[in-house]
Structure 1
């Protein structure tokens, strides 16, 4: 059921990273293994070669919470690089603040939710996902985690957002 819903939700015409859906114990989340892909991370101010890169989805944000109350949380915002540029990504012009990230294959538990997202909403959805994983005895990493958004800020209805928690693999 979730796979069919996902196909409808992600049929926005934008390129998205490829993943393989796996069977999950719960009906309130998915298990996805994302293929290795390149992403451009931080902020986009320009690219060399004057290459126009089409919009893709999702925009992901890696959240790495600080170790204690006085520690800062770090956020890495990333944009999926379209398939036609995966093998040879355009090189960022601002090498101090922008970098091409090669994400290895990873498996994540994914909870999808609608509406406009904000810090409170994504935190609530993250906690719901954690509760589901604990209920099902699923092995997961507590940190870091991802927040993903699929829509332009100008899209007002049928919005798609996700929280991703990384699966803990054997030996981790």
Structure 2
């Protein structure tokens, strides 16, 4: 039994390290909370492995990704910052970059929120075709490269709004309370991360129905430690 478990742990670890597909979330009922967003069935989205499914949350391991991002936007409104960032990034995608290259807009677009809730950074996911060498921006944008990272994720529908986003964040925090994931998230925030959480929007601004959004709490944890947790 111990030998079989050791083999399983090794297989799982190798899958994480290699980005293998054995543990990729393959659910395919669009529009329902806890499923793949409909947009990700039609177009590219950041790929991830579903590491753990909890009560009201999931733990994802995202592969390395490249984003085009705004400079930090100061303010008190996530909606206003997201709108400002959307306009700046749309200009870049329309060809206002060093290569004068038009780039297809794909989802999600994300807004990172600082721990003091007064600074935001908005980013577009770069299509995989351009991930190795995205066209350099010519305005106040920059390329943001993410190493493989873990995140606790909560999915919800409707529009993202300033007056409700705090409740969604609180719901995810409550779901994680007392878990090893909560401890890892707290430790990551204490050891250098400026961002408290990320809001990922998987629907276009003028899409009225079947909207899907996610709250991400990124954190750092050793792959082998993850394996030990999920295979206990």
TM range (shorter): 0.7 to 0.9
Deviations 1:72-127 (A, max 9, x none): 72100000000000111111111xx1000111111000000001111222211110
The aligned residue for residue 122 of structure 1 is: 165
CA distance in 1, matches of 2:119, 2:35: 29
Give the RMSD, CA atoms, in angstroms: 2.1
CA distance in 2, matches of 1:127, 1:148: 16
CA distance in 2, matches of 1:112, 1:130: 13
Aligned residues: 162
Structure 1 length as normaliser, TM-score? Answer: 0.84
| Aligned 1:3-82 pairs, distance under 5 A | 4=27, 5-7=34-36, 9-24=38-53, 26-42=54-70, 43-44=88-89, 45=91, 46-66=96-116, 73-82=118-127
CA distance in 2, matches of 1:164, 1:29: 10
CA contact 2:40–2:107 (8 Å) conserved in 1: no
Greater helix content: 2
Instruction: Tell me if 1:133 matches 2:176.
Output: yes
CA distance in 2, matches of 1:157, 1:12: 16
Greater strand content: 1
Cα shift at 1:8: 5.5
Instruction: Tell me if 1:109 matches 2:185.
Output: no
| Aligned 1:74-93 pairs, distance under 5 A | 74-93=119-138
Structure 2 runs not aligned, ≥5 long? 1-24, 28-33, 71-87, 190-194, 223-232
Which shows bigger deviation, 107-116 or 5-14? Answer: 5-14
Structure 2 CA distance for partners of 1:49 and 1:137, relative to 1, 3 Å = closer
CA distance in 1, matches of 2:156, 2:171: 11
CA contact 1:3–1:21 (8 Å) conserved in 2: no
